Amino acid sequence: MKKRETSSIVSKFRNTFIGDRKFYTTVLMLVLPIIVQNTISNFVNLLDNIMIGRVGTAQMSGVSIANQLIFVYNLTIFGGLSGAGIFGAQFFGAGDHKGLRNTVRFKLWTVAVVLAIAVTVFLTSGEQLISLYLTGDGDAAERAAILDYGRRYLSIMLWGLLPFSLSQTYGGTLRETGETLLPMKSSLAGVFTNLCLNYVLIYGKLGFPALGVEGAAIATVIARVVELAILIVYTHKHSEKFLFIRGLYKTVKIPKALTVKIIRKGSPLLVNELLWSLGMTTLVQIFSTRGLNVVPALNISNTITNLFNVVFISMGSAVAVMVGQALGANDIPRAKQTAWRLMFFNACICIAVGGVIIALSPVLPYIYNTTDVVRKLATRFMQTSAMYMAVNAVTHCTYFTLRSGGKTFVTFLFDSAYTWVVFVPFTYILTHFTSLNILILYPLCYFADLLKCIIGIIVVKSGHWAQNMVSDASSNERIGS
């Protein structure tokens, strides 16, 4: 009897969490190009970081703080495009290219609005925002230098916001159709351009002046233009393959019913990504009050761990596409099964990756030209990230699972609301009302991630997220070109 019960449990576990060869082949075909793209991109970011770090710690800190602000913009664009992306994946799954075309138009409108707001904020308040990260203990001259470097870097990076946004629009839409190679190739071209120009412009090679942080910003802007150009030219030249691009710019109008649906579903995602990214930058600001050394240490830790995080982050794209297409095809059981299997697969991989990070964490900070204090902090921050990697992998998959079914308000509560109601206050209280050393404080604060993971699993298990949102849209919203 016990053997039968054990066998039944094992069978149920395998059916729920373990896929067959075809399943993993599909996952890898979808995810590997994204992983390669993100790995190379983050590796180049690491090299950029090292190049800036070798110019000076103040330069590295200034660029890091400016990138915290740009991070908010990037995530807001991601959130703004995600709502339309949900419909895009399901429209493609339903074979509705007109619907997909209209979602792209909605994305272009979103980019225009978010870009206008962001440029206004950065031009009028950029210096004040950078100053928020310079309140910790440290030398006044160093603080002034960091502020100056951050301001100069940010002023140039503003020129790269538009090409970045349009690349996200085109690349995201192509991924929703299952095309991941073209975005990967364009990204590779961009990061290669960025790497080469960084070396030339930061250090003043091949007859160019040594521009330091400004050179790094110029290189990034040019690289984003290169990436966008490849996406636009190839996509429009192959309209027979990418049917949604035909007549895309003939009109800017979008069917009212579809617009209302996307706004209703997408607004929580935009607000979520905006508030979540603000929450993450606020956490960095809170930690920075423990001293100026915390800023470069967090920069080193985040840059290196992001190189490893590409695995579980890329798996989110697999969840969005595979679960979204299953829902669009009205195959609810397959959508639920796919979500659990991707979640388990992601967690297993990240346990192994986390072990690699822990093993390498004492060595990797030495590639930077900085102080031993900063290196020690960076090592401990990296080890904390490694400890929570599998937890974050599951949480990441639950987020994309809920989002793929259109439960955008739930994702808002799960992500940004949780960040601001639990994570940020918890961190603020521990940082400002205790005397805990930052080496103890940092991992303790991120314990809040474990509770978030448990909540996500419970919500996914309920199954209420699994719904087809485009069946009515496909039949009722085929107006317009």
**pLDDT tops 90 at residue 426:** yes
**Span 195-211, mean pLDDT?**
88
Residue 341 has what pLDDT?
87
The per-residue DSSP string of 397-450 comes to HHHHHHHHTT-HHHHHIIIIIHIIIIIHHHHHHHHHH----HHHHHHHHTTHHH
Determine the Cα–Cα distance for residues 19 and 25; give it in Å rounded to an integer: 10
Residue 478 has what pLDDT?
39
**pLDDT tops 80 at residue 57:** no
Percent of the chain scoring above 90 in pLDDT = 20
Residue 475 has what pLDDT?
43
Among 90-94, 387-391, 462-466, name the one with the lowest average pLDDT.
Answer: 90-94
Q: Residues 78, 79, 81, 85: is their CA dihedral positive or negative?
A: positive
**pLDDT tops 50 at residue 97:** yes
Residue 197 has what pLDDT?
92
Residue 265 has what pLDDT?
75
Amino acid, res. 204: G
Determine the Cα–Cα distance for residues 53 and 61; give it in Å rounded to an integer: 8
Residue 9 has what pLDDT?
61
Q: Residue 251, Cβ neighbours under 10 Å: how many? A: 11
Percent of the chain scoring above 70 in pLDDT = 91
Question: Which secondary structure element, helix H or strand E, spans residue 101, and what is its range?
Answer: helix 97-131
What are the tens digits of pLDDT across the range 177-201?
A: 777 788 888 888 888 898 889 889 9
Determine the Cα–Cα distance for residues 159 and 201; give it in Å rounded to an integer: 17
Residue 2 has what pLDDT?
56
Q: Residue 259, Cβ neighbours under 10 Å: how many? A: 18
Q: Residues 64, 66, 67, 69: is their CA dihedral positive or negative?
A: positive
φ, ψ at 155 (rounded to 5°): -60, -35
**pLDDT tops 70 at residue 10:** no
Mean pLDDT (the chain) is 83
Q: Which of 90-104, 385-399, 460-474 has the highest mean pLDDT?
A: 385-399
Q: Which of 52-56, 78-82, 168-172 has the highest mean pLDDT?
A: 168-172
The confidence band for 476, taking pLDDT boundaries of 50, 70 and 90, is very low
**Span 323-332, mean pLDDT?**
77
The confidence band for 121, taking pLDDT boundaries of 50, 70 and 90, is very high
**Span 131-153, mean pLDDT?**
80
Residue 15 has what pLDDT?
63
Residue 136 has what pLDDT?
62
What are the tens digits of pLDDT across the range 64-88?
A: 888 888 888 888 888 888 778 877 7
Tokens of 183: 């975005």
What are the tens digits of pLDDT across the range 292-307?
A: 888 889 888 988 888 8
Residue 226 has what pLDDT?
94
What are the tens digits of pLDDT across the range 440-456?
A: 999 999 888 888 899 88
Could you tell me how far CA 446 lies from the centroid of its own chain?
18
Q: Which of 4-18, 303-317, 327-341, 372-386 has the highest mean pLDDT?
A: 372-386
**pLDDT tops 60 at residue 38:** yes
* Selected residue with higher pLDDT from 204 and 19: 204
Q: Quote the pTM value.
A: 0.72
What are the tens digits of pLDDT across the range 328-338?
A: 777 788 788 88
